Amino acid sequence: MINIIVTEFQKLKRYSILWVGTVAVLFSALLAAFQQTSIKGHEMLQYENYANSVIWNNFSMAFPFMIVLIGGYIINREYVDHTLKNMLTVPITFRKLLTGKLITVGLVIALYGFFSFICTFILGMLFCHGNMSPSLVAKSFLQLVGMGFCCYLAVLPIIIFFSRKQNGFLAGVGIAFVYGFCGIFIAGKNLTDYYPITAGLGIIKFTGDGTLTFNVSLEIVIMLFMITLSIVMLLCMKGYKDGVAMPKNKGKKHAVRRT
């Protein structure tokens, strides 16, 4: 598994799709700065408010579609480059290969969360003079990285489902964008704790405007459910044929026909 992850990171250097994630994260931070300055006018911006705005943009716009796009693209390259059949001649199952790629995507998203913090910190120094205490900066770091990981868990089943077929991830990207955008209307409502995209807000102790309340225990259960669902979906996938990853039962039938 470690060899698969290391190999995937070596491949990442050739993928220009990573620039989409970089631009999305940077755009989220710049948009938050514009939103805060347009609301506050000439008043001095508070770093905590600015960081909260970045978190809001990340979970509602930037991260969900970006995670599915990058994750789906990394998996889809094996179909497009026709390398999957060759790789599966070695004793590596499609399920194990997919698991390694998903772990790689999770690590990449953690790096994007760190990059989001760097953008937030730099822009915060430009727009939030005099109110950036070390505790607030450390808090924003944990929240931005944590929210990125929660978004990853929330869309993980989408990545797995649409990885079964070549170019299937494109439909998943559209669904993920709508999935995240709907979080704008759900956050602060009674469904906040139940909606996977917004469930991470309570886990990272998002303060927002001070009116949000969360049931952290319930949100942790929702995240655990998404992890369990993803594991079940992985266990049900086995085999590869003509650009399609087959369900487990079909993989067995195919093996019988060839004997």
Whose tokens are 């650009």? That residue is 243
pLDDT, residue 110, reads: 96
Residues of the chain with pLDDT under 50: 241-243, 247-259
pLDDT, residue 52, reads: 93
Integer Cα distance of 29 and 19 in angstroms: 15
pLDDT, residue 257, reads: 40
202 Cβ contact list (under 8 Å, min separation 6): 192, 193, 214, 215, 216, 219
pLDDT, residue 11, reads: 85
28, 52, 113 from 35: Cα distances, Å? 10, 11, 20
76 Cβ contact list (under 8 Å, min separation 6): 163, 166, 167, 168, 169
Model pLDDT for residues 209-256, shown as the tens digit of each residue: 767 788 999 999 999 999 999 999 998 876 554 445 554 444 444 444
pLDDT, residue 199, reads: 92
pLDDT, residue 121, reads: 94
Global pTM value: 0.85
